[in-house]
């Protein structure tokens, strides 16, 4: 079944986000409607202040919307308490950040094992799964290295291994190539493509770089807290003006 025919994995309706700032309300999101089907690879684009990172935080259950509804696998995320959200993040979602967010004093292996420990894996099981994840990103031989012994591209590969070690439904990446050179950026995006193609992981990438977004079959463009254009999965282009 194509992603066009499936019930959306992610359903956002009228999502708003308001932040109080020095007595003034800042409207980061102003009514976002967005469906993402299981198995899609989507780039969310926009300039600084467009709302793309705010939307990413809501999709990743790291923040709650002010208004509207967000359904993940048909579950209204707003009905979950903090403990349930933490469990959902650990079991369903994987995160990759611009600055890697690795533990500086821990080895690559230990960094990748951490989500498994939180999920209740035994040390032996966690080591086995973490080594497999490192092998998938081409870094099994560097399992004993610490971040300061690796290049930026290698550190981001470790971060990707950590993000996928729990076999998440959704892999969310916020400016994942922002701290990398051109060659490393291409390698990382090719790795995301492989995860998407071979494992069927739904990949959502926030970026302001068009050349990075070009790795994704679908592009969603945001401006001033709303979606202004969206290339749907069939490849046709639709803008807000045409809606």
Residue 124 φ then ψ, to 5°: -65, -45
Give the mean model confidence (pLDDT) for residues 90-101: 91
Provide the CB-side half-sphere exposure for 10 (13 A, CA).
27
At residue 4, does pLDDT exceed 50? no
pLDDT in tens, 174-192: 999 999 999 999 999 999 9
Domains in the chain with CATH codes? 10-231 (3.40.50.300)
21 pLDDT tier (thresholds 50, 70, 90): confident
Find out whether 108 and 150 touch, Cβ atoms under 8 Å. yes
As a whole number of angstroms, the distance between CA 166 and CA 168 comes to: 6
Alpha carbon of 33 to those of 29, 36, 61, 179, 208: distances in Å?
11, 10, 17, 30, 20
pTM of the model: 0.89
Averaged pLDDT of the chain: 91
**pLDDT tens-digit series, residues 145-183:** 999 999 999 999 999 999 999 999 999 999 999 999 999
């Amino acid at each position: 079944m194509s992603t066009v025919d499936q019930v959306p994995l992610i359903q956002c309706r009228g999502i708003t986000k308001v932040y109080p700032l020095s007595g003034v309300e800042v409207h980061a999101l102003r009514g976002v409607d967005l469906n993402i089907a299981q198995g899609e690879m989507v780039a969310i684009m926009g300039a600084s202040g467009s709302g793309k990172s705010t939307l990413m935080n809501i999709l990743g259950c790291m923040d709650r919307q002010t208004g509207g509804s967000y359904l993940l696998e048909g579950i209204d995320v707003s009905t979950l308490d903090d403990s349930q959200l933490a469990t959902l993040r650990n079991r369903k979602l994987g995160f990759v950040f611009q600055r890697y967010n690795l533990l500086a004093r821990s080895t690559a292996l230990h960094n990748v094992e951490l989500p498994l420990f939180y999920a209740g894996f035994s040390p032996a099981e966690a080591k086995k799964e973490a080594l497999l994840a490192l092998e998938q990103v081409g870094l099994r031989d560097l399992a004993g290295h610490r971040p300061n012994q690796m290049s930026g591209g290698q550190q981001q590969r470790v971060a990707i291994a950590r993000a996928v070690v729990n076999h998440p439904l959704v892999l969310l990446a916020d400016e994942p190539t922002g701290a990398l050179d051109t060659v490393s950026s291409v390698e990382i995006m090719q790795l995301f493509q492989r995860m998407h193609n071979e494992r069927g992981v739904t990949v959502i990438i926030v970026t302001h770089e068009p050349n990075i977004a070009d790795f994704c079959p679908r592009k969603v463009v945001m401006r001033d807290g709303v979606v202004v254009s969206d290339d749907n999965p069939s490849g046709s282009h639709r803008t807000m003006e045409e809606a």
